[in-house]
Amino acid sequence: MDSFLLQILNGLDKGSAYALIALGLTLIFGTLGVVNFAHGALFMIGAFCAVTLQRILSLSYTVEDPTQKDFLGNPLKVQTPYVESWFGPNVGGAIIDWAVPLAILLAIPVMVLLGLAMERGLIKHFYKRPHADQILVTFGLAIVLQEIIKYYFGANPIQTPAPDALSGVANLGAVIGMDLVYPIWRIVYFCFAALIIFGVFAFLQFTTFGMVVRAGMADRETVGLLGINIDRRFAIMFGVAAAVAGLAGVMYGPINPPNYHMGMDFLVLSFVVVVVGGMGSLPGAVLAGFILGILESFASTTWATTTIPGINQIIIYLVAIIVLLTRPRGLMGRKGVMED
């Protein structure tokens, strides 16, 4: 029972990442009718927002400390981050320590602007072109974005630790009398993802803006005929989707150190998630994200991997193929979305 719960918990953090990326992909599918192969790159850029902020905050100047000597007997050179000298070692140190959560503040404007720029500068011109062209141009963009990141940050993964206070483990089961030791940051990640998902749904459900967007997803032409400028709203939705992917990336750093190709790795899986959930269905994307994340976690148990070696690597694809063959529209897909 304990290990069963633990597997579910293990699946939640990966499932959260899948769900967030798939949610953004679906928003873009549904509203703009565009298949965005660069969405994984947005996730990756989000993660590198955290890396960038961490580096900016750690910018240091060198002072010679006459009281200490290095091994040659010269005065020791001490690197002091500017933030520490401005806010004092305690506050400054805390700021650096909390770089990853703080990066959310940086990532939101960066990602929204990047999303808007992508939509206005590139995607807009591809609405009337065939889907294959949309796939190709966003695929090209994904390569360009990841190569730029590689140029500036190198090819190796970069450690982005969680704040000290959130980086240990906690015994979740203590409350209910079970033994469930689980990393705190993963709980934080899950809660954060749940918050964003909730926020996106609330935004679509309860604001006029969201209502128009939902109507547009259902029937774009009619809404356009009503004299509503649906294009501008869709552009903003692209920004929102980019921000969702970016935030998923920012917070994922402490779980898996970011590297330049993490976007491509997640992209394929997220597409599979979207297809399993049902193309064009937001709840489907979220549901499928969590289900597949948890399934993957169960397939990674020693019992599963000794029975069928490597099952953890292919379980998602197997499930996707079975779902598509038996329920071609996915778990919650609507009829006729992008079928021609």
Partner 1 sequence: MFGLDKKDTTLLLVVAALTMLAPFLLNPFPTESGMAQFNAGYPDLMQKFVIFGIFAIGFNILFGLTGYLSFGHAAFLGVGSYAAVWIFKLFTYNVFPAILLSVIVAALFSLLIGFVSLRRSGIYFSILTLAFPQMSFALAYSVLSNPKFNLTNGETGLQVYADDPQRFHREGLPDLPHLFGLSMRSTHTMEIGAWSFDFNVGYYLCAIVMLVTFYLSVRIFRSPFGMMLRAVKSNQQRMNYTGLNTRPYTLAAFVISGMYAGLAGGLLAAMDPLAGAERMQWTASGEVVLMTILGGAGTLIGPILGAGFIKYFENIFSKINDNVLHQWFSFMPDGIEDFMVFIVHPFVGKGWHLTLGILFMLVVIFLPGGLVDGGQRIGRWLRSRGQKEDKTTGTTEPAE
Tell the smallest beta-carbon distance from residue 317 to partner 1 (Å).
4
For 111, the enclosing helix (H) or strand (E) is helix 99-121
Smaller CB separation from partner 1, 194 or 264 = 264
Helices within the chain (DSSP H only): 2-32, 39-57, 82-97, 99-121, 131-153, 184-206, 208-218, 220-225, 230-252, 262-277, 282-299, 302-307, 311-326
Least distance in angstroms from the C-beta of 326 to partner 1: 11
Q: How far apart are CA 175 and CA 172, in angstroms?
A: 7
**Hey, what are 250's tokens?**
């920012």
Least separation in angstroms between residue 316's CB and partner 1 is 8
Q: Which is nearer to partner 1, 101 or 333 (CB)?
A: 333
> Please, which residue, 148 or 158, has the CB nearer to partner 1?
148
Which DSSP letter does residue 69 get? E
Least separation in angstroms between residue 170's CB and partner 1 is 32
C-beta of 247 vs 320, nearer to partner 1: 320
* Nearest distance from C-beta of residue 285 to partner 1, angstroms: 13
CB atoms within 10 A of CB 316: 22
Structure tokens at 131: 């889907």
Length of the chain: 340
Nearest approach in angstroms of CB 28 to partner 1 is: 12
Q: Which residues bind partner 1 (CB under 8 A)?
A: 35, 122, 125, 130-133, 135-137, 139-141, 143-144, 147-148, 151, 264, 268, 271-272, 274-275, 279, 308-311, 313-314, 317-318, 320-321, 324-325, 328, 338-340
Phi, psi of 50 (to 5 degrees): -65, -45
* Short-list 145, 188, 214, CA closest to 16: 188
Using the minimum distance from each CB to partner 1, give the nearer residue, 213 or 272: 272
Residue 321 corresponds to which amino acid?
I
CB-wise, 73 or 130, nearer to partner 1?
130
